[in-house]
Chain A
Amino acid sequence: EAGVTQFPSHSVIEKGQTVTLRCDPISGHDNLYWYRRVMGKEIKFLLHFVKESKQDESGMPNNRFLAERTGGTYSTLKVQPAELEDSGVYFCASSQGKGWDTGELFFGEGSRLTVL
């Protein structure tokens, strides 16, 4: 079974440009999460989808970030316009619905964003 896949693995853009990160969760997982680690800091929650609906987006840093999950399948995270402080690694994770034993999160390998 395929795991969580993220694309691109690494993106280098200039300040002011736009970048779109994509995440394909494990098939059948209703929950999809975005996290990020900016340079030298901890991994922090950004937002949570249940199917196509945003359950919690309290971790989104500002309105330059837009996440979508059309049809409840894959998700995109757009940063527009990108700023230097947006550099870091963006992780996507998915899990089965609430009520499963562990609520285990399955993470992708991350998308590294470098803003110059």
Chain B
Amino acid sequence: LAKTTQPISMDSYEGQEVNITCSHNNIATNDYITWYQQFPSQGPRFIIQGYKTKVTNEVASLFIPADRKSSTLSLPRVSLSDTAVYYCLVGEIGYQKVTFGTGTKLQVIP
């Protein structure tokens, strides 16, 4: 499984756009990139998944460059409720033997 590296923590003011970058230099051809969000005392929650270029849903956007060695999760206009830990995972779809890594703790400030 491709190892991922993310910043440990980030702070942002409400209303700003937040970009969290994940490095995955040894990503394999069949690997997808998936992001999960976790609030305290809850299980992780799926946010978005992509293979290449750009993916957008109602919650976030995911930008993946051509070499796929990194990806950036973009959260538009964050609110206090977006304060959470965000995990980047890399692996084949359906291959769920993953370790979540340390994740990025996002703190949104009023």
Residues of chain A at interface, number, CB under 8 A: 28
- A45 adjacent to B94 (CB under 8 Å): no
A43-B100 contact given A105-B46, A107-B43, CB 8 Å threshold = yes
Chain A residue contacts of B94, Cβ below 8 A: 95, 98-100, 103
Cβ-defined partner of A45 (8 Å) among B45, B49, B87, B97: B97
Q: A103 — which chain B residues lie within 8 A by C-beta? A: 93-96
A62, CB-defined interface residue at 8 Å: no
Decide yes or no: A107 and B101 within 8 Å by CB, A98-B94, A102-B34 being known contacts: no
Please name 6 further chain A to chain B contacts, defined as beta carbons within 8 Å, in addition to the given A43-B44, A43-B99, A93-B96, sorted by A numbering. A31-B96, A103-B94, A104-B34, A105-B36, A105-B96, A110-B41
Q: Please name 21 pairs of A and B residues whose Cβ atoms are closer than 8 Å in the assembled complex, sorted by A.
A: A42-B100, A42-B101, A43-B100, A44-B99, A45-B99, A48-B96, A59-B97, A91-B43, A95-B96, A99-B94, A102-B46, A102-B49, A103-B93, A103-B94, A103-B95, A103-B96, A105-B36, A105-B46, A105-B96, A108-B43, A109-B42
